[in-house]
Structure 1
């Protein structure tokens, strides 16, 4: 009789535990569902934002920009959207370049030595005229083409809101930034994801590319290996 009463008492307790767990899970998922990628504000230019970041973040792109004063001026005085490659992107490109050069019996090349016209062409592809946050791309399900600076080269930008905790389109905002290679067939495109978006500077917006991005959209080696 005592065991039977004990079992009867256990049911309400278990029920309360289950309700509490369900409430906690719903609350957690709700936080993800209501996630907003708040726009960060930086009190300076796009170039100054790059310079203000910790060592080993944007040193490589700053080195390239110092060799390309016109692009450096663009990031200072023009309204732009900049897809910023981190040091890791340049390290991968330089490593691949010098593996090839070694196999060809050539001396190593580094960013300070690379052909300026090639660096200008490739770096220009990371800069789009006009200051735009993800709100500009969100309405286009298949993405949208924008001309990059200097050469008017077409780059493709696609809004991608990540999923979280089972909620479709319930997570952080992201962008897929692609070089279409002047080709209508997407299988030939070089794509890159972002790690951070909508960083607002006085003269533009910075989106930080993921470290796995290869600087030059897989053209760096072929262009500078001369």
Structure 2
């Protein structure tokens, strides 16, 4: 049996000893102030090579270029983004592959912020034998979901490198730093002023979940601002959800947040209306078709042109992404400052 690679020194020194491999990783570690953690704490690192960071930066700048925005690099990206994403790859304690014999793997937390990740053992097939090939480790961003179908998983290219204070598993070169969240977090558009919080009002729906208004997935949860709750309907057909504000207010944006479960239940076609008290008719404010939520718990902001104040706004759901069932974590009406 081959001996595991061993480096005599701490994890930070090991990374510094590999120029041309971990230069970008060291740059990020230095920038977010994790040197000491990698020198004197017992950790497991899922190591990102230069290639992993290069893919992320390339994807970012391709996206920024489309919008005629200046390019960004690891030394200019917001500290908070690098910090939160990098901390997902460092786990407290030593976790070698032979400790993952449990079929279900191991739930772990990233350092500093306790972000939930998952590590699992994966034995590859070889020469016609199941589990007869090399062993790799699957490393997953759970997206805070208990359903592994919502996870984003990457694989290791080498395992169990030992330093004085750490175990290192090296990720495949095709892994993109940030589990595809790097670009979306940088170009994320924060929602404008939430009118429910500033104006006050009541949310309602034309159809209620089968368990009634107090069920765990009732309509009230699409208005509560909590991404962990949701409104679910089984094969509702066309229906609407509605905000009634205490006073008339001119909204010109709204947000929708995808829920925890499968993408097929996300809304994809809808219209937004405002009740015009002068004409006693609904005014059409926005129409969307073939929209998609690429991630679970994804918050999207939609802007529309409007100067008229309405007390009532209605979102008419016409179609779901891939089926008849509906789910949505949150809906807000907003006003740009």
Q: Per the shorter chain, which TM-score range?
A: 0.7 to 0.9
- Compute the displacement of 1:72 (Å): 1.8
Question: Which runs of 5 or more structure 2 residues have no equivalent in the other structure?
Answer: 189-337
Match of 2:23 in 1: 59
The CA distance in 1 between the partners of 2:160 and 2:74, in whole Å, is 28
Query: How far, CA to CA, are the matches of 2:12 and 2:79 in structure 1?
Result: 19
Query: Secondary structure at 2:140's aligned position in 1?
Result: strand
Q: C-alpha distance in 2, partners of 1:47/1:224?
A: 27
List per-residue Cα deviations over 1:77-128 (Å, max 9, x = no partner): 1000000011111111111111111111110000010101110100000000
1:66-145 alignment, distance < 5 Å: 66-69=30-33, 71-138=34-101, 140-145=102-107
* Residues 1:222 and 2:210 are matched in the alignment: no
* Partner Cα distance (1:209, 1:38) in 2: 20
- Which one is further off, 163-172 or 129-138? 163-172
Deviations 1:148-193 (A, max 9, x none): 1000111000011223323332332210000010012222211110
Q: What secondary structure is seen at the aligned counterpart in 2 of 1:122? A: helix
Aligned residue pairs total 188
Question: Which of the numbers 178, 183, 197 marks the counterpart of 2:159?
Answer: 197
Question: TM-score under structure 2 normalisation?
Answer: 0.54
Tell me, in whole angstroms, the C-alpha distance in 1 between the residues paired with 2:36 and 2:82.
16
Note the 1:21-32 alignment, pairs <5 A.
Answer: none
When you count helix as a share of all residues, which structure comes out higher?
Answer: 1
Structure 1 gap segments, 5+ residues each: 1-35
Residue 48 of structure 1 corresponds to which residue in structure 2? 13
Q: Pick 1 or 2: higher relative contact order, CA cutoff 8 A, min separation 6.
A: 1
| Structure 2 residue matching 1:213: 3-state secondary structure | coil
Q: 1:152 aligns with which of 69, 90, 114?
A: 114
> Alpha-carbon deviation of 1:129?
0.1
Structure 1 or 2: more strand by fraction: 2
